[in-house]
Amino acid sequence: MIGPDGTQLGVITRDEALEQAQELGFDLVEVAPLDKPPVCRIMDYGKFKYQQKKRTSKGHVHHGKNKEIRLRPKIGDHDFMTKANHARQFLKARDKVICSVIFRGRENAHVEEGFKLVKRLITELEDVSKVEQAPGMQGRRIVLILAPK
């Protein structure tokens, strides 16, 4: 049996161990049931479970999800800033942001407008992000992936 401070108390009967635990105001917990004789410890079981839960949750890491911001080449300044602020919030929450500029119809003839828009977005968010995938055409859209710094 092991005491509350970690010292070995020797081999004693179950009834004596329970009595000692009650006198000290702790619980008797079986630590190694397969050993001969089984090893028990006097401890505060509620505190032990809380520390175990805290230890396992500490190892949990936020992996981040992919969030998408969709833009059009003729977007207004205020709308652009709104989209940029949403992207900033996603990046601060440790999520990746996929920015896509979508072209329709005659807009395909002015792809350079889309690249200007993407460069403007990169400079707007350079304090909280880094470019993971450079802007490039994928079908009828320009795609850029930003990752948090």
Q: What domains can be seen in the chain, in order of their start residue? A: 14-58 (3.10.20.80), 66-148 (3.30.110.10)
- Model confidence pLDDT, tens digit, residues 80-113: 999 999 999 999 999 999 999 999 999 999 999 9
107-112 long-range Cβ contacts below 8 angstroms, 24+ apart: 107/72, 107/73, 107/74, 108/140, 110/73, 111/137, 111/142
- Model confidence pLDDT, tens digit, residues 16-28: 999 999 998 999 9
